[in-house]
Amino acid sequence: MTASTVRAVGDGHVARDRRIGYATAMEALDVVERAGAALPASWQGTGLLIDAGGGTAARRQAVGRDLVDGFKLWRLAISLGWLDIKLRYRGSALGPFWLTLSGAVMVGSMGLIYGRLFAMNLHEYLPFLALSMILWQSFIGGLTTDACTVFLDAETMIRAMRMPFTVQVLRCVARNVIVLLHNLVVPIGVFAIFDTWPGWVALQSLPGLVLWVADGIAAGFLLGSLCARFRDIPPIVGSIMQIAFYITPIVWKPSQLGAHGWWLPINPFDTLLEIVRSPLLGAPAGLLAWGSALGYSLLLWLVALLIFTRARPRLAFWV
């Protein structure tokens, strides 16, 4: 059976109803030049060449090439992520710092309310709440939501030019990393007010952040592929993330459960949050948290590669 190829060329317009304003194909090419990146020879052209044929081995090879060529364009992905943020806040006085301001207001109000409700010491509780809320909203929750539409939002670019799908996933992760970095001003401000600095143990959060980025890439492949085919999945994921927010120690501390908190390592969001949050609060993450986080990450990558391998030849038709 011979492989059939279809060339899909988009119209190059920017979808006005998207939550984030995305660049047209010509703007993307300008970003390529500014980033100093060059598309590999096999990807150069005006349309995306889709190989819908071949067996499992051929699909795996195509995914491997996509990953390798996509990671070579990491500078392009970061530039596109930064461009997304600039387009999102075009014409705004504070730009992305509106999120920082809203996060600070939310942490302050929730800290006073829940601190009194749980009879917590604000000197200990407010830094915990500030860090937990920012890490969840700015990366874990935000990235999971964005991963659902990582290919749908890039519909114009996918149909207008040849480019590895990996670039769109890296673009989504880069965008959320940038948002996280400027929102970290909130917990840093809380630490300064209460004079609760974590010390050198905070450096132990760096491996956890690297694992977060790796998991974000896997989530982009998995959720992006599934949501491109089944449009009902994004609202389902949104509902699951709302439930996960309340059953994960974010507004409440694990110590409040006492002996009843045996089930927390089963929650993948708790273990991922713990390996970054604990060092930033001055306490190293435990081996159980790291073991659970690595196990869940490995499982996520295996499922993501399996789904992406099967979905990749059809993605350009689904978006």
Confidence of residue 137 (pLDDT cuts 50, 70, 90): confident
pLDDT, position 19? 38
Q: In b/e form, how buried is each residue of 231-243, taking b as 16+ CB within 10 angstroms?
A: eeebeebeeebee
Q: Return the pLDDT at 69.
A: 92
What is the pLDDT, as a whole number, of residue 2? 40
Whether the predicted pLDDT of 124 surpasses 80: yes
Query: Is 202:291 a contact under the CB 8 Å cutoff?
Result: no
Residue type, 287: L
Chain-centroid distance of CA 27 in Å reads 23
Taking alpha carbons only, the member of 305, 253, 316 closest to residue 120 is 253
pLDDT value of position 156: 85
Please tell me the predicted confidence (pLDDT) of residue 319.
82
Instruction: State percent of the chain over pLDDT 90.
Output: 44
Number of folded domains in the chain? 1
Reported confidence tier of residue 104, pLDDT bands at 50, 70, 90: confident
Local confidence band at 195 (pLDDT 50, 70, 90 cut-offs)? confident
Give SS3 for 234. helix
**How sure is the predictor about 32, in pLDDT bands with cuts at 50, 70 and 90?**
low
Contact criterion met (CB below 8 Å) for 293 and 275: yes
The DSSP letter of residue 8 is E
β-pair partners for 48: 8
pTM, to two decimals:
0.81
| 101 pLDDT higher than 50 | yes
Angle (nearest 5°) at CA 81 between 51 and 64? 30
What pLDDT score was predicted for residue 46? 47
In whole angstroms, what is the distance from residue 91 CA to residue 86 CA?
9
pLDDT value of residue 42: 53
Contacts of 41 (CB under 8 A, 6+ apart): none
What are 90's strand-pairing partners? none
Q: How confident is the model at residue 39 (pLDDT cuts 50, 70, 90)?
A: low
Q: Does the structure show a pLDDT above 60 at 31?
A: no
Quote the mean pLDDT of the chain. Answer: 82
- Residue 51's domain spans which residues? 5-318
> Does the pLDDT at position 169 exceed 80?
yes
